[in-house]
Amino acid sequence: MVNIAVMGYGTVGSGVVEVLNLNKNVITQRAGDEINVKYVLDLRDFPGDPVQEKIVHDFDVILNDPDIQIVVEVMGGVEPAHTFVKRCLEAGKSVATSNKALVAKHGAELLSIARERDINFLFEASVGGGIPIIRALNSSMTADEIEEITGILNGTTNYMLSKMFYEGADYDEVLKEAQDKGYAERNPEADVEGYDACRKIAILSSLISGQQVDFEDIYTEGITKITKEDMMYAKEMGMTIKLLASSKRRGNHLHAIVSPALLGKDHPLYNVDGVFNAIFVRGNVLGDAMFYGSGAGKLPTASAVVADVVDEAKHLHRNIMTMWKSEKLELLPIRDTQKRFFVRASGDMEARRAEVEECFGKARYVKADGLDGEFGFLTEVMTEGDYMQKAEGFPGILHMIRAEG
Amino acid sequence: MVNIAVMGYGTVGSGVVEVLNLNKNVITQRAGDEINVKYVLDLRDFPGDPVQEKIVHDFDVILNDPDIQIVVEVMGGVEPAHTFVKRCLEAGKSVATSNKALVAKHGAELLSIARERDINFLFEASVGGGIPIIRALNSSMTADEIEEITGILNGTTNYMLSKMFYEGADYDEVLKEAQDKGYAERNPEADVEGYDACRKIAILSSLISGQQVDFEDIYTEGITKITKEDMMYAKEMGMTIKLLASSKRRGNHLHAIVSPALLGKDHPLYNVDGVFNAIFVRGNVLGDAMFYGSGAGKLPTASAVVADVVDEAKHLHRNIMTMWKSEKLELLPIRDTQKRFFVRASGDMEARRAEVEECFGKARYVKADGLDGEFGFLTEVMTEGDYMQKAEGFPGILHMIRAEG
């Protein structure tokens, strides 16, 4: 029997206990041993809950019990999660976590402690919920140099953008609806400003480079400025707008960015709607691959956490190698990235065509029905630095959205 | 240094050598040691080729060299591959293969030999080429009971069906074109009759059940009877036709089938076009997930084989558990599967409506432009057994195609 402790009995924590009970037989078979939840750490009590006898309020009970070989951390936030996880690892207990903030910030350090002690620190659930992207990068795509990884990594904003696209709803409307349905938090900042996606792409960037990518270094723009008018132009062009988190290789360096992006119908992420997540990966020999699934939610996230627990039970005294050194990787500056830019500008399209061309060169022009006194154009590929410079000399820009592909 | 031998220097074999050279640094890092190709087994010589010095014609050279710790089998076919692989494993050498015929037939036996000797038999490339589906089932989705796995597992037929759908081309035309482009073999039977997809879904079914699923037991229907007229009806209904290989759980049993199927626009496999493969998986806690990528081709397949070699180099004397016992799983009979059925019938739609309703119950009727003297209808969900019985009492059926969802 392998004894584990679950730290945090919120949505994911209770999901972990539920999954371990529901699929007990198959999990025991695959882990090679029965997984037993001995403790659940939470500040609250849960009278009447099946775990009520297992609830402890004191972290030291877990830390000091030599029976506990694996600890699940699903409290969220950097502290006290970091202190607890670090002490567990130092005490020789493997840790599985869904905590993206913790992993983005301290992943390299925690992996190195686990490596030294021949135990494991796994975090499949921290990116893409139930999509097994971490293990794919870590143990499946090991023959490849990963050239690009681009994902829809936040279900809340993807739900909102899908609503805006299909129903012509405005931002405030869909935010309120998402909040009412429980898809968005009352304070939605982490989702709508792109902070959540930013931490996730920082983790993926660290894994594909093998070095520390600091999330603070990643240019991050949320969806708060996306309007139903933007969606009208997107539709007119046969495109959609998604919040993309992306990391692309140039030589030994990476460009990373989180921002809304226009996608054409042939982009593999075009059809990813609602609360789903999807991750596109390009390897130098593998070519293009895409992973799609539930990016969040109690059971899909718990499924990923429990899969990590199973892996840790199978590797109790053996480290599963993860390449992620603490040495920091400097990202390439955003001004050097190459893209097309969609610009909404005020004025009459025909009257300003020559002006656009003089400033930005060749472009694709677009008018949206019912939007008078303005027009849009999509530039050819140029660097972000070039675009910025040109945009300064072009009055009346209402909004700019980057375009992929 | 880990010495390996590559058996078979055809498309995949030469791809394996190419990938090992191209990505040498990153592969060494991830394997924790340098991978060196010591021998390449082939009947032919390759004068001027970088491997010419490594070519051997005698399998015993590989078998009897204690330096060889990992053997790559990419010869294809059941024999002599089976004998060679078995002898390698018995001699304590791990094996990585892309050979679906070998794995479908002898997977359970070879896995059990590897387990007894604490070495590994891995076969990621045997299904879905570069899509890491085997490892996903084996080490990522371990917290789930897999309820369904449905895939587009053959790139040749998917290319052909995509052409028929988008260009209105007829079967013979697209087959010839696929052959000219090298996507289809001169003898295309294995692809177009569904035999290739059948072996792949047999492997996946064995992995999700943990028991032996014999490919001979799987009802298999190819695409040779799909016509451009069928595609016209599909379009009219907002659907497409794909060759699906599918395995669905009912209790402790599985239904498995390979056949063309009508898919609606909201099916996750609807948009998978051309030579790409995709695999949809439903877990009881994970929910829906989908994996998409190159299902074949020299480098994507080689990427998957080399990833297995890396894993084997990391686990030289330790078995990576794969649940696949030799005990045979009896599949549920196809007559008990539930589906909707699309029927093309001769005659006038209005005149025969009452007859259709009396025989099949409620249905969705469809006429395709330019197809006179016939019509189509899509039944409600019923068992295949029910359908068969009803169809016997309904004259003038031109074609039946199963529909998903």
Cis peptide leading into residue B47 (ω within 30°): no
Cα-Cα-Cα-Cα dihedral sign, residues A293, A294, A300, A305:
positive
Q: Using the predicted structure, report yes or no on whether residue B346 has a pLDDT greater than 80.
A: yes
Q: With cut-offs at 50, 70 and 90, classify the pLDDT of residue A252.
A: confident
Which pairs from A395-400 meet CB under 8 Å and 24+ separation?
Answer: A396/A345, A396/A346, A396/A347, A396/A352, A397/A343, A397/A344, A397/A345, A398/A344, A398/A345, A398/A346, A398/A374, A399/A225, A399/A227, A399/A230, A399/A343, A399/A344, A400/A341, A400/A342, A400/A343, A400/A344
Q: Does domain A135-293 have CATH number 3.30.360.10?
A: yes
Contact B321 A314 (CB under 8 A): yes
Cβ atoms < 10 Å from Cβ of B302: 30
Read off the pLDDT band of B251 (50, 70, 90): confident
Q: What's the gap in Å between the CA of A153 and the closest CA on chain B?
A: 14
pLDDT for B147 beyond 80: yes
pLDDT confidence band for A251 (50 / 70 / 90): confident
pLDDT value at residue B295: 87
Mean pLDDT score, A11-33: 97
**CB distance B131–A289 less than 8 Å?**
yes
Count the residues in chain A.
Answer: 405
Contacts of A140 in chain B (CB under 8 A): 124, 132, 135-136, 304, 307
Query: What is residue B140's DSSP assignment?
Result: I
Contact residues, B window 21-50, toward A, CB-based 8 Å cutoff: 22-23, 26-27, 29-32
The pLDDT value given to residue A225 = 97
End-to-end CA distance of chain A: 51
Instruction: Report which secondary-structure segment, H or E, holds B374.
Output: strand B374-379
Considering only alpha carbons, which residue of chain B is nearest residue A137?
B132
Interface size A-B, in CB pairs within 8 Å, comes to: 172
This prediction has a pTM of 0.96
CA distance B370 to chain A (A): 30
User: Which residue has tokens 């301290």?
Assistant: A106
Instruction: Give the pLDDT score at A346.
Output: 98
Query: Residue A209: which pLDDT band, with cuts at 50, 70 and 90?
Result: very high
Q: How far is it, in rounded angstroms, from Cα B56 to Cα B65?
A: 12
Task: Encode pLDDT of B194-247 as tens digits.
Answer: 999 999 999 999 999 999 999 999 999 999 999 999 999 999 999 999 999 999
3-state secondary structure chain A: CEEEEEECCCHHHHHHHHHHHHCHHHHHHHHCCCEEEEEEECCCCCCCCCCHHHEECCHHHHHCCCCEEEEEECCCCCCCHHHHHHHHHHCCCEEEECCHHHHHHHHHHHHHHHHHCCCCEECHHHCCCCCCHHHHHHHHCCCCCEEEEEEECCHHHHHHHHHHHHHCCCHHHHHHHHHHCCCCCCCCHHHHCCHHHHHHHHHHHHHHHCCECCHHHCEECCCCCCCHHHHHHHHHCCEEEEEEEEEEEECCEEEEEEEEEEEECCCCCCCCCCCEEEEEEEECCCEEEEEEEECCCHHHHHHHHHHHHHHHHHCCCCCCCCCCCCCECCCCCHHHCEEEEEEEEECCHHHHHHHHHHHHCCEEEECCCCCCCEEEEEECCEEHHHHHHHHHCCCCEEEEEEECC
Is the Cβ–Cβ distance between B34 and B23 less than 8 Å? no
What ipTM is given for this predicted complex?
0.94
Diameter of chain A by CA atoms?
Answer: 77
State the smallest CA–CA distance between residue B156 and chain A in angstroms. 18
What is the average pLDDT score of chain B? 96
The percent of residues above 90 in pLDDT, for chain B, comes to 97
Q: What pLDDT score does B74 carry? A: 98
- Read off the pLDDT of residues B279-296 as tens digits, 9 standing for 90 and up: 999 999 999 999 999 988
**CATH code of the domain occupying A335-403:** 3.30.70.120
Q: Does B264 touch chain A (CB under 8 A)?
A: no
User: How do residues A41-73 score in pLDDT, each as one tens digit?
Assistant: 999 999 999 999 999 999 999 999 999 999 999
Query: Is A346 near chain B, with CB under 8 Å?
Result: no
- Say how far apart CA A332 and CA A212 lie, in whole Å: 14
pLDDT at A296 (0 to 100)? 85
Cβ–Cβ below 8 Å for A285 and B297: no
What percent of chain A is modeled with pLDDT above 90? 97
Give contacts of B263 with chain A, Cβ < 8 Å. Answer: none
| pLDDT exceeds cutoff 80 at B122 | yes
Query: How is domain B144-294 classified at the architecture level of CATH?
Result: 2-Layer Sandwich (3.30)
Q: What is the mean pLDDT of chain A?
A: 96
Domain-by-domain residue ranges, chain B? Answer: 2-129+298-314, 144-294, 334-403
pLDDT attached to residue B85: 98
Give pLDDT, residue A364. Answer: 97
Is A200 a residue of the active site? yes
* Residue B252's pLDDT band (cuts 50, 70, 90): confident
Give B70-118 pLDDT, tens digit per residue: 999 999 999 999 999 999 999 999 999 999 999 999 999 999 999 999 9
Assign a CATH topology to domain B334-403: Alpha-Beta Plaits (3.30.70)
Query: pLDDT tens digit string along B13-62?
Result: 999 999 999 999 999 999 999 999 999 999 999 999 999 999 999 999 99
Q: Find out if CATH 3.40.50.2300 is the number for domain B2-129+298-314.
A: no
Mutate which: B35, B249, B286, vs A, most A CBs within 10 A = B286
**Average of pLDDT values for B158-180?**
96
